[in-house]
Amino acid sequence: MSGPALLSVEGVAVDLPTARGNLRAVDGVDLTVGAGRTLGIVGESGCGKTMLSRAILQLLPKKAKLIGRVLFDGQDLVRCSPEALRKLRARSLAVVFQDPMTSLNPVLTIGTQLIETLREHLELDALQAKKRSVELLAAVGIPAPEQRLTQYPHQLSGGMRQRVAIAIALSCEPKLLIADEPTTALDVTIQAQILDLLAREQRRRHMAMILITHDLGVVAGRTDEVAVMYAGRVVERAPTHALFKNMRMPYTEALLSAIPKLDAAPHTPLPAISGRPPDPTRPIKGCSFSPRCRYAAGPCHRDKPQLTGAETPDHQYACFHPILIAAGVTA
Amino acid sequence: MATLELIVSEEVVAGPLVRSRRLGLLFWMAIGWMLFVFAVAILAPVLPLPSPTDMDMLERRAPVSALHWLGTDGLGRDELARLIYGARISLTVGLFAPVIGLAIGGALGILAGYFRGRFETLVVGSMDVLLAFPPLILALAVTAYLGQSILNLTCILGVLGIPAFMRVARAATLTLARREFVIAAQALGATHARILVRELLPNVMLPLLAFFLLGVAVTIVVEGALSFLGLGVPPPISSWGSMIGEGRESLEIAPQLAFIPAMALFLTVLSFNLVGDTLKALTDPRQSAL
């Protein structure tokens, strides 16, 4: 961790009232992101990744209840006034969503969407804003940016749309960019391009980034730190290289072994994680991964393990039976 | 399933092509008729027409002649002039009443769909009350107290149209407000006003405009019905509905007096419906393709 934290999330929990009872989507999460650093958040569907990102942005559904503190640049976003929050979002926060089909306004041209955002945030006049838009589109790798300005989102391919969404997010020079599964809706070759683009712009602008994904492969080469989430909790947190070298949490190991390997013989069955994630409206006693964990025994079924650092303070995990042999997977 | 997907993808790819083909001859004929009616109605004072209110008792129910192109009515007034001046009334009421509905109903609908909560309950509830109110009674009450005038008639029909526009706007807003581009705008620090006007309004406007054209058609018919019942514009001003009403008295001797304005009404309403439906069909698949 270099320098003071830009964002620190302290004990954040999100409760969603549902017809089946209270759903705890995020359960006591602590995270920090330093300026210019990248944090990857990994976990399967429904583990609370997106709710956590919405909690950071204070854009939770109206009925959701948020507990805890979200400190950004020394300010607690949870207690900010709506106006102060709006200004803060305009200046320093941005988000890129999973599906560029729905994250762009379908009836406005790319130019209108970009230029208006720029004029609003940077108080440019129409001509300057247009010039800046062309620069931004060129920066995110869109060919013939002048012509794109007059096009509508449905005239662009998925990858192009995601580039436009990134350009809009970058337009106000944010200090923190939250990318919520930015490549899930795209095909594999485009995925790599978009991730490289995000990494390049991040370095150039020295902004912090939270990269949310369900794919450990995506975070491997592109993040400084990784937090693995399961059932609303962070179960393992470590600098990226340390995580891939010595993973401690059986869930992380299971996630990694579920990735198809190129050198495996054809038709090799994938070691899937058996069972399903626990029902978040019915919290279970003990470790929430214990019903699916092959190492689970004794205390796993009785007590919830706390996130603690063992060998190094950077590497934290919540497990009573951590894997102690080095997995030997290189990042 | 496979064939279904195939058909969908073809439609998406051939979007612009299908669109130009779908407009078709009927659509352009409807547009042509609408333009013709509008032009004639607007230019009525400068056209070489006899007065629509001057009576000629010697020429009652006269047949078609060089002087009276469509003959005269039961009081010897020129039928063509009355038809054209009637178009002015029917179109004025038919256009301005839905504008009231579009403005008030559309605004209420977008606000209710975006802010939800108690405001939405209040709006939807009051619209249900308005819908439950018998429209003819309202028209009777207003004309009885405030008198028969074009303004009153427009206002009545406009107010009666508000609930329908509110529902269309609210339904469209409800689905749109949950889309990620709204959350993305919030994350970029957009104000509520900005999200409503710049993000939601352009999207909601498409279905609202298509519905507006259908609203014009319905209003022209309702205005005709009210005038036919004697609740519309006061005589001697003519509207298509009142002309049909007056023509009814001499249906056996001179059926053309009722049928000519009925034909004009029919063609105009059909045109608005055709154009409205075509526009709706154009906006719907585009919305689903996105």
The token pair that represents B16 in the structure block: 């612009």
C-alpha closest to that of A154 among A105, A194, A215? A105
| pLDDT value of position B109 | 92
Tell me which residue in A102, A116, A178 faces B198 most closely, judged by beta carbons. A116
| pLDDT value of position B22 | 59
SS3 B52: coil
C-alpha closest to that of B113 among B178, B63, B50, B60? B178
Each residue of B28-56: b (16+ CB within 10 Å) or e? Answer: eebeebbeebeebbeebeeeebbebeebe
Q: Is B189 close to A59, i.e. CB distance below 8 A?
A: no
Residue entry with tokens 């996130």 = A307
Other CB atoms within 10 A of residue B119 CB: 13
* pLDDT values of chain A reduced to their tens digit, one per residue, 331 residues: 445 688 888 888 888 888 888 888 888 888 888 888 899 999 888 788 888 888 888 888 878 888 888 888 888 888 888 888 888 888 888 888 888 778 888 888 888 888 888 887 777 888 888 888 898 888 888 888 888 888 888 888 888 888 888 888 888 888 899 988 888 877 888 888 888 888 888 888 889 999 998 888 888 888 889 999 888 888 888 888 888 888 888 888 888 887 777 787 788 787 778 777 777 777 777 888 888 887 877 788 878 888 777 667 778 888 887 777 544 444 3
How far is residue A15's CA from residue A297's CA, in Å, rounded to a whole number?
30
Question: How much is the ipTM here?
Answer: 0.76
Q: Is B189 close to A103, i.e. CB distance below 8 A?
A: no
- Give all strands (DSSP E) within chain B, no chain letters: none
Given a contact cutoff of 8 angstroms between Cβ atoms, the answer to whether B42 and B87 are in contact is: no
Tell me which residue in A90, A103, A153 faces B184 most closely, judged by beta carbons. A103
Other CB atoms within 10 A of residue B2 CB: 5
Q: Mean pLDDT of all residues in chain B?
A: 79
∠ CA A270-A223-A323, nearest 5°, is 50
Other CB atoms within 10 A of residue B269 CB: 21
Q: Is B183 close to A59, i.e. CB distance below 8 A?
A: yes
Residue A57 contacts B where some CB pair is shorter than 8 Å: yes
Angle between helix B135-146 and B150-177 (nearest 10): 140
Residue entry with tokens 């009785």 = A302
How far is residue B29's CA from residue B24's CA, in Å, rounded to a whole number?
9
Given a contact cutoff of 8 angstroms between Cβ atoms, the answer to whether A247 and A323 are in contact is: yes
Other CB atoms within 10 A of residue B93 CB: 29
Which of A112-126, B10-24, B95-109 shows the lowest mean pLDDT across its residues?
Answer: B10-24
Q: Taking 80 as the threshold, does the pLDDT of residue B66 lie above it? A: no
- Of residues B228 and A225, more confidently modeled: A225
> Which tens digits make up the pLDDT trace of B231-267?
777 777 778 877 877 777 777 777 777 788 888 888 8
Tell me which residue in B180, B202, B206 faces A97 most closely, judged by beta carbons. B180
> Which tens digits make up the pLDDT trace of B154-200?
888 899 889 999 999 999 898 888 888 888 888 888 888 888 888 88
| pLDDT value of position A242 | 83
Amino acid identity for residue A76 in this structure: D
Residue entry with tokens 């070489």 = B48
Q: Is B186 close to A89, i.e. CB distance below 8 A?
A: yes
Report cis status (omega within 30 of 0) of the bond before B16.
Answer: no
pTM of the complete model: 0.76
CA distance A95 to chain B (A): 7
Other CB atoms within 10 A of residue A311 CB: 10
Supply the DSSP string of B121-174, one letter for each residue.
Answer: HHHHHHHHHHHHS-HHHHHHHHHHHH-S-HHHHHHHHHHHHHHHHHHHHHHHHH
- Of residues B220 and A176, more confidently modeled: A176
In a mutagenesis test of the A interface, which of B180, B195, B204 is the best target, namely the one with the most A β-carbons within 10 Å?
A: B180
How far is residue B158's CA from residue B162's CA, in Å, rounded to a whole number?
7
> B-chain residues within 8 Å CB-CB of A82?
none
Residue entry with tokens 């961790």 = A1
Residue A154 contacts B where some CB pair is shorter than 8 Å: yes
For residue B122, name the pLDDT band (cuts at 50, 70, 90). very high
Those residues with Cβ within 8 angstroms of residue A113's Cβ, 6 or more apart along the chain or in another chain: A104, A105, A164, A168
- For A194, A325, B12, B207, the CA distances from A331, given in Å and listed in that order, are 20, 17, 42, 51
Write the secondary structure of chain A as one string of H (helix), E (strand) and C (coil).
CCCCEEEEEEEEEEEEEECCEEEEEEEEEEEEEECCCEEEEECCCCCCHHHHHHHHHCCCCCCCEEEEEEEECCEEHHHCCHHHHHHHHHHHEEEECCCHHHHCCCCCCHHHHHHHHHHHHHCCCHHHHHHHHHHHHHHCCCCCHHHHCCCCHHHCCHHHHHHHHHHHHHCCCCCEEEEECCCCCCCHHHHHHHHHHHHHHHHHHCCEEEEEECCHHHHHCCCCEEEEEECCEEEEEEEHHHHHHCCCCHHHHHHHHCCCCCCCCCCCCCCCCCCCCCCCCCCCCCCCCHHHCCCCCHHHHCCCCCCEECCCCCCEECCCCCCCCCCCCCC
Torsion of CA A275, A279, A284, A287, to 10 degrees: 50
Q: Is B287 close to A106, i.e. CB distance below 8 A?
A: yes
Q: Is B181 close to A99, i.e. CB distance below 8 A?
A: no
Given a contact cutoff of 8 angstroms between Cβ atoms, the answer to whether A96 and A33 are in contact is: no
C-alpha closest to that of A139 among A90, A181, A191, A202? A202
How far is residue B21's CA from residue B26's CA, in Å, rounded to a whole number?
11
Residue entry with tokens 């000519």 = B260
Residue entry with tokens 């407000």 = B177
Q: What is the phi/psi pair of residue A213, to 5°?
A: -160, 165
Given a contact cutoff of 8 angstroms between Cβ atoms, the answer to whether B244 and B224 are in contact is: yes
- For A189, A256, A264, B87, B215, the CA distances from B269, given in Å and listed in that order, are 54, 66, 69, 12, 10
Residue A292 contacts B where some CB pair is shorter than 8 Å: no
> A-chain residues within 8 Å CB-CB of B190?
86, 90, 120
How far is residue A224's CA from residue A210's CA, in Å, rounded to a whole number?
10
